[in-house]
C-alpha cells in the first residue's frame, strides 16, 4: 500500500470534494480517499500493484481540476 497527498486547484465546495472522492473510489486498488476543498488537498491510499499515482492524477484532471 502507498499513501500520497495531492495538491488540487479548482475545488470550491464540498460538492467538489465528493466528485473527486467518488470518482477515485470507483477504481480498483483505491483503498481510501480523503479530500478537502479548504486545504486544496487529497490524500489517497492505494495498491500500487493495481493502480499508480499517474492514473490517480489523471482521474482528478479528467474531472476538470488541476493537479499541482
Question: pLDDT digits over 10-22, tens only?
Answer: 999 999 999 999 9
| pTM for this model (two decimals) | 0.92
Residue pair 42/32 in contact by the 8 Å Cβ criterion: no
Give the other-Cβ count within 10 Å of 44's Cβ.
Answer: 25
Domains, in order of start, for the chain: 2-67 (3.30.70.100)
Give the other-Cβ count within 10 Å of 40's Cβ.
Answer: 15
Residues written for the chain:
68
Question: pLDDT digits over 4-61, tens only?
Answer: 999 999 999 999 999 999 999 999 999 999 999 999 999 999 999 999 999 999 999 9
Amino acid at each position: 500500500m502507498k499513501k500520497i497527498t495531492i495538491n488540487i486547484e479548482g475545488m470550491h465546495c464540498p460538492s467538489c470534494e465528493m466528485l473527486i472522492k467518488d470518482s477515485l473510489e470507483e477504481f480498483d486498488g483505491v483503498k481510501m480517499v480523503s479530500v478537502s476543498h479548504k486545504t486544496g488537498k487529497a490524500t489517497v491510499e492505494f495498491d500500487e500493484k493495481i493502480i499508480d499515482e499517474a492514473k490517480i492524477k489523471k482521474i482528478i484532471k479528467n474531472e476538470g481540476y488541476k493537479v499541482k
